[in-house]
Each structure stands twice: as C-alpha cells, then as structure tokens.
Amino acid sequence: MKVWLGGPYPLGATYDGAGTNFSLFSETAERVELCLFDEEGIETRVDLPEVDAFCWHGYLPAVAPGQRYGYRVHGPSDWSKGQRANPAKLLLDPYAKAVSGEVTWNPAVFGYRFAHPETSNRVNSAPFVPRSVVVNPYFDWGHDHPPKTAWHDTVVYELHVKGFTTQHPDVEPELRGTYAGLASQPVIDYLCHLGVSAVELMPVHQFIHDAGLIQRGLRNYWGYNSIGYLAPHAAYSSGGQDGQQVQEFKAMVKRFHQAGIEVILDVVYNHTAEGNHLGPTLCYRGIDNPAYYRLTEDDRRYYKDFTGTGNTLNMRNPHVLQLIMDSLRYWVIEMHVDGFRFDLASALARELHDVDRLSTFFDLIQQDPVVSQVKLIAEPWDVGEGGYQVGNFPPLWSEWNGKYRDCVRDFWRGEDRALAEFAFRFTGSSDLYELSGRRPYASINFMTAHDGFTLADLVSYQEKHNQANGEGNRDGTDDNRSWNCGVEGPTDDPSIASLRRRQQRNLLTTLVLSQGVPMLLGGDELGHSQGGNNNAYCQD
C-alpha cells in the first residue's frame, strides 16, 4: 500500500478527491499505526511516516470515503505520570467526522485487568470498539443561508432527535427517531405552527452508552457522554453509518433553514465518555492522556472531576483548545448550524481551580471570526466548588437563567417573598446582566428543560420518582420547587386536574411574556409527563 508523507494539518482524515490525508496529535507517542479495516473487518496496519509539532501524519492515495479506520499508539505507560499508551487498544480519531458501530463492553476495552487493576491489559480491543470513518466532504447546499434570527425575535424549542419522532404517527416509520424524520414535513409544519424560531438539539455528537447502564438494561438516552466532537451520532441516521449520517444531518439543517428555523446544538466539551481511571480506553486516554485530561497533581493516575462524570477535559492545553475550536468551526462552516448551548460551561472556564471569566477559552471564542458570530448559550454552572456562575459570563454569551426558573416556580407555588425577585426576572434580570453591558436577551428564560420535571410533572409531583433509573431514587435533584396541587401524581379529581391545567397556563404565559429569550421544552405544550422522573437520562 502506498503511503506518502502528507501534511500535519488539517488534523483527522481529509479526503481531497484523490486520496486521504491522516493526521493525529500526540505529544507522548513514539510510534503511531493507522489501522484500516475492510468490509469483512480484516485489519491492515500502516505506520504514519512523519511527525511535525507532535502531529503524526501520512497520505494514502488509495483511501476513499467509507473507509473505516482507527489508531494504535505506542509510547510510555507509567500511570503515576499520567502516561497510558497501549497499542493493544484500537483508538478512535478525535477528529473523526463519522463513527461506525458501538462499544461492546468486553474487558478488552479497558487498559487494566479487572482481577489486577494495577497491571496493564494487553488484549486487543479492536473486535469490541467502533471505527472512525473517512467521509465525503461534498454536499449540495444549493442556496442555503442561515436565518440569522435576531435574539429579540428568537423562540428556542429544546428537543431530542430520536424522542421527538420515534412515535410520531405522521412521520414515515422508517424515518422515526432519525435526522431525516426530524426534518420531515409534518415536523417542520408543526414547529412553524408553534412559532418556533430555533430548535436546540440535545447532544448529537457521537456518544457512548455507559457499561453500567447497559448492565441494568438501560441506555444513555440523553447523550451527554461524547466521544467524537466532529461526528454526528450514527444511530440517528436512517441511511447508514459509513458517512451517510453526515449527509443526512446536512440535509436536515438545510430543510430547517428553508423553513426559517435555526439549529442550535447542545455540546458537551467539558468531559468525555472515557470516565475516570477505571474507565475504558477508547480514544483520548490512549492517544495522550496528560494532554487531554485534568489530572491530580499528587498522583497523575487519577482525574480531576468538575463534571460529576469521572473526568474533565484539560482546557489549559492548547491542543485541547484547538480541538474544541476546530469542532465548533466545523459545525458552523461545514454543517451550517446556527449556534451552540454549552453543557456545564463553567467547567470550560476553569484554568487552575476557580472559574475564570477571562479564561483562554472565552478569549478564543471572542476573537474567532466564525464562532463569535453565531448564537452562544452557556449552562452557567458545573458540580465543582464555585461553579454556579449565572450572570457572570462575558459579552457575546447568553445563559440558561437558572435563577429565572427557580424564582418563577416559587412565585406560582405561592412561596413567601418571591414577588420582589419575580419583578427582576420578569423584566429581563437586569440585576444579573446590566452591569456587564448585556441586554435582556442574555437571559434564556425557561421553566423546564430536559434536566428535571416536565411542565406537567412540575404541577403534579412534589417529590421525584426516579426508581426506573435503577439507582434507588438517589439520582436527580431534590430541589424541584414544584407543587402537586394537593395529590401526588395522577388523579381523577376534576378540580385538581383543572387547577393543574391552569397552573401550566400560568407558567407558560409568564414565560412568553417575560423579557428575554423564551425556551420551551419539547412536549410541554402537549402535557408530556415522565411519571415524576426528574432525571430521565437513561429512559430510552
């Protein structure tokens, strides 16, 4: 097989019409093998012949779109220093634009032996892990252009790609739960009828279903467990997983734009699906663990966790920042999305320990000629100390206003001393945003979101009922600020049912009349219930 030197940039697999350039960053690597897989799964290994500025690269003139591949990285393996190179583990490309297959939870996908956790596991993981895929970058966008809806005219509608159409009677059965189904005419017509100007899609980056959930017969439904930041989640494709998901996602965006609807992505750049030191080796951990992750200072085999997931991406490393910025630009330039909602955004601003509103991440966003021009929404908190940062993000940013949600819920359930704060929240939360020169549209007002009760459950349940998650009802918040109107859960009492409907109307009317940008949780307008589950992340 012919292998030319190629170039270090762009990172990832780039098809140019005649062949494919491969480039992978790893500062710790001593050797990198590119692994190509044919249709029968037979593996062919090729050493990347050149390295420049820690980017290992090569050009293969025979490789075309649809080619499945991965990497094996050779290098030091001293866990106490954070070094976890293990060439027995097939690794995804961090810049893969498509991923095929899912993880099979075999012990081989872990870098240590279960019986002896201090010893390295050298069993080949290739039969049990997904593959990266070379994609065709060409797509006929026609006359597509972003709607560029002004913030003061924006109505955001949060939805789940699969969940929104999986039981939709007017969507063709073979398209339900897919990008194509979401872009079907019945869905477009419904959203236009509602007056929605932007859909905020729950995570569509390639994600992994956790081993613990699979063992309990559950799945990571929400998708906040990313493993590929440039790849649309393959399971949402109706056409296949060998690059078809990219074309289908682009076609979906094009259809939304034709209807005047913007597409905002919920992105999870604060952590990855590899978990803590006991998690699997699927990508970043095996490529350059100390570059990609925040490690503890005293023993670098362990991970700092500001996200509650086991790890935190290392925003102090320039190559991690480059990955995130390259990902954001890719989704805007190549996939034509119109904005981003950043999950646990406070974690992205932690340079040392404290959340820093002048962090490098914000500087990069501010100066970037592409990313700075789209809608930027922060979830302004994380689980670390000092992580609650509502009102503290810099100009350009809007924020999920958690104080609005809490205050308005308190007001309508009759809590004492709620009126004074309600006046601030109803009129744009000037106490939070005015001093930094931001306008009312910095406040994304919401009553409910994917995380917590639905609107119907907010007026039907006093307590969470998360038993179906298999965690003994310990997961999910206990601070619901809800009122069940006198009876917990479903009731046949017509007076209570009438009161609940009136309370829902009160909350929705407050939302649409408040200064700021309203966000509606998909299904709330129809009275969707989760049976009191306020953390339905694993209920597929």
In a domain, 143, yes or no: no
For 411-442, the pLDDT digits (tens) are: 999 999 999 999 999 999 999 999 888 999 99
Percentage with pLDDT > 90 across the chain: 91
pTM as predicted: 0.96
**Are residue 179 and residue 258 in the same domain, yes or no?**
yes
Query: Is 379 among the catalytic positions?
Result: yes
**Are residue 72 and residue 181 in the same domain, yes or no?**
no
Tell me: cis bond preceding 49? Omega within 30 of 0 counts.
no
**Are residue 161 and residue 273 in the same domain, yes or no?**
yes
Domain that holds residue 509: 153-526
Among 134, 165, 199, which residue terminates a domain? 134
In a domain, 179, yes or no: yes
CB-based contact 124:88 (threshold 8 Å): yes
CA distance 146 to 442: 21
What is the domain-level CATH number for residue 219? 3.20.20.80
**Are residue 263 and residue 399 in the same domain, yes or no?**
yes
Helix H, strand E, coil C: the string for 96-116 is CCCEECCCCCCHHHECECCCC
Say whether pLDDT at 18 is over 80: yes
For 207-246, the pLDDT digits (tens) are: 999 999 999 999 999 999 999 999 999 999 999 999 999 9
**Are residue 130 and residue 179 in the same domain, yes or no?**
no
In a domain, 140, yes or no: no
Which of 320, 337, 401 shows the shortest CA–CA distance to 371?
A: 337
Domain count, the chain: 2
**Are residue 519 and residue 469 in the same domain, yes or no?**
yes
Which of 510, 512, 465, 516 shows the shortest CA–CA distance to 489?
A: 465
In a domain, 4, yes or no: no
Is 96 exposed, middle or buried (CB count within 10 Å of its CB: 0-12, 13-18, 19+)? buried
Q: How high is the pLDDT of residue 352? A: 45
For 369-412, the pLDDT digits (tens) are: 999 999 999 998 776 677 788 888 888 899 999 999 999 999 99
Rounded average pLDDT over 499-520? 98
- The helix/strand/coil state of 144 is coil
- Residue that has been written with the tokens 């002004």 in this structure: 150
Q: Look over the chain and give the mean of its residue pLDDT values, rounded to a whole number.
A: 95
Side-chain half-sphere of 93: how many Cα atoms within 13 Å? 34
CB-based contact 202:523 (threshold 8 Å): no
**Are residue 92 and residue 201 in the same domain, yes or no?**
no
Question: 428 in the Ramachandran plot: left (φ > 0), alpha (ψ -120 to 50) or beta?
Answer: left
Among 134, 166, 200, which residue terminates a domain? 134
- 341-378 burial, b for 16+ CB within 10 Å, e for fewer? bbbbbbbbbbeeeebeeebebbebbeeeeebeebbbbb
**Are residue 376 and residue 338 in the same domain, yes or no?**
yes
Catalytic annotation, pick one of 274, 343, 382, 524? 343
Say whether pLDDT at 361 is over 90: no
What is the domain-level CATH number for residue 48? 2.60.40.10
Among 70, 101, 134, which residue terminates a domain? 134
**Are residue 233 and residue 327 in the same domain, yes or no?**
yes
CB-based contact 179:246 (threshold 8 Å): no
In a domain, 2, yes or no: no
CB-based contact 482:462 (threshold 8 Å): yes
In a domain, 84, yes or no: yes
**Are residue 380 and residue 247 in the same domain, yes or no?**
yes
**Are residue 161 and residue 265 in the same domain, yes or no?**
yes
Q: How high is the pLDDT of residue 355? A: 54
Banded model confidence at residue 353, pLDDT cuts 50, 70, 90: low
Rounded average pLDDT over 104-119? 96
Q: How high is the pLDDT of residue 391? A: 85
**Are residue 478 and residue 400 in the same domain, yes or no?**
yes
In a domain, 167, yes or no: yes
Which of 77, 31, 80 shows the shortest CA–CA distance to 51?
A: 31
CA distance 344 to 380: 6
In a domain, 346, yes or no: yes
- Cβ within 8 Å of residue 128, ≥6 positions away: 103, 104, 105, 106, 108, 109
Alpha helices in 437-487 (DSSP H): 455-458
- The helix/strand/coil state of 389 is coil
- Residue that has been written with the tokens 């905002």 in this structure: 264
